[in-house]
Amino acid sequence: MSESLLNSIDFRPVILAGGSGTRFWPRSRRARAKQVLALDGERSMIQQTIERLKPLTSLDNTWIITNKYLSREIADQLPGLPAAQLVQEPAARNTAPACGLAAFLIEKQNPDAILGVFPSDHVIGDEPRFLRTLQKAVALAAAGENIVVLGIEPERPETGYGYIETGDLIPDGSALHVRRFTEKPNQHKAEEFVAKGNYFWNSGMFLWSARTLANAIREHVPETAPLLEAIAAAYGTPQFDEVFRDLYPKCENISVDYAVLEPRSAKGEHLSHLYCVRADFDWNDLGSWASLYEYQMTTRMRGDSDGNVTETGGHMAIDASDNYVYSPKKFVALVGIKNLVIVDTEDALLIAHRDNSQDVGKIVKELREMGKDELI
């Protein structure tokens, strides 16, 4: 099936799954980060990520970069994944080393393979549109030394995302030249970006050939590249674990956006080979309990008539509206409350105002400082 859709392009998804499990505490923990939770629907976020790519490829061609806390759970959730393609980082080093390692590993197998880097913790609605967009992006990435990013049309002046400033359309109209990647803007800047119309949210989904990405890493992260190449060289040998453990922590702790895309964009929009394919599917990075609430309420229409989104063993609301409630086994009664996030797990209970749900990370930070390892 992948053959027919992508015309024999060797497409290799590289799934980044290195979450630390803080934003969806207490459901998420180090060993149960967002990626492996079924936050939206029956299957986990990473299972949905894989499922979504199925029409274009198979698990045999899929790589997952994760950490020691999550790897076992991921292996359990994806029984068809070849064990050697579940790469367990010995230390968290952000996305540049993770993507770079994948590039060097796959380059050895086929430098023309097209790597698709995908976060494993975003929700995407309307899969046919996603697949159409992705095929365009893969084809463009395969057409030369191109770096293709999927850009999301911004719905609001979000300050939590990076933005892509785009320029001219390419001749066939399937993508835009990228002028610049920006870091997370302040409110004023974000409003300006949205008003201008040629700015897109950086989805974190990138397409490029193994050769292109490997060369970009060699060019832009020159001290890290040889370390990653040495690790890739040891892959499949008895020394691999040791080499990986020794060298990987020495790699620069930097995102691929910051390490590669921003400097590359400085070459100018017609020389950088950076392209943005506009995503026309629903997308949500579910960055907090509040955004999960919003997503389930508006996109999934899962709320009741009082705007309560509930996953409980039954509930009753008396003068209670616009709450998110997770307590899958219990009967929950809500009385006179509004805009709360209530998350009940076996050993911990969170009650937060929805406006404060970004503070959930602070709880985990404090628990760590308190040494309450059993709760993080």
In the range 100-129, which residues lie near a second copy by CB under 8 A? Answer: none
For 272-322, where are the E strands, in sequence order?
A: 274-279, 283-284, 309-312, 315-318
Name the token pair of 162. Answer: 């990076």
The residue (of 156 and 329) whose beta carbon lies closer to a second copy is 329
The residue (of 231 and 342) whose beta carbon lies closer to a second copy is 342
In the range 289-318, which residues lie near a second copy by CB under 8 A? Answer: 313-314, 316, 318
Is 350 a binder of a second copy (CB under 8 A)? yes
Q: How far is the CB of 318 from a second copy (least distance, A)?
A: 6
For residue 59, report the phi and psi dihedrals to the nearest 5 degrees: -60, -25
Query: Can you tell me the distance from the alpha carbon of 71 to that of 324, in angstroms, rounded to the nearest whole number?
Result: 29
Q: Are 15 and 122 in contact (CB under 8 A)?
A: no
Is 348 a binder of a second copy (CB under 8 A)? yes
**Which span (158-166, 247-255, 276-284, 325-333) binds a second copy, by CB under 8 A?**
325-333
Query: Can you tell me the distance from the alpha carbon of 376 to that of 366, in angstroms, rounded to the nearest whole number?
Result: 10
In the range 5-64, which residues lie near a second copy by CB under 8 A? Answer: 25-26
Q: How far is the CB of 274 from a second copy (least distance, A)?
A: 40
Q: Count Cβ neighbours within 10 Å for each residue of 90-112 and write b for 16 or more, e otherwise.
A: beebbbbbbbbbbbbbbbeeeee
**Which span (227-235, 241-249, 251-259, 359-367) binds a second copy, by CB under 8 A?**
359-367
**Which span (73-81, 140-148, 240-248, 336-344) binds a second copy, by CB under 8 A?**
336-344
The residue (of 68 and 362) whose beta carbon lies closer to a second copy is 362
Q: Are strands 11-17 and 63-67 parallel, antiparallel or unpaired?
A: parallel
> Would you call 371 helix, strand, or coil by DSSP?
coil
Is 365 a binder of a second copy (CB under 8 A)? no
Q: Check residue 94 and give left, alpha or beta (phi > 0: left; psi -120 to 50: alpha).
A: left
Q: How far is the CB of 342 from a second copy (least distance, A)?
A: 6
For residue 232, report the phi and psi dihedrals to the nearest 5 degrees: -65, -35
Q: How far is the CB of 341 from a second copy (least distance, A)?
A: 8
Q: Which residues bind a second copy (CB under 8 A)?
A: 25-26, 313-314, 316, 318-319, 323, 325, 327, 329-337, 340, 342, 344, 346-353, 355-357, 359-360, 362-363, 366-367, 372, 375
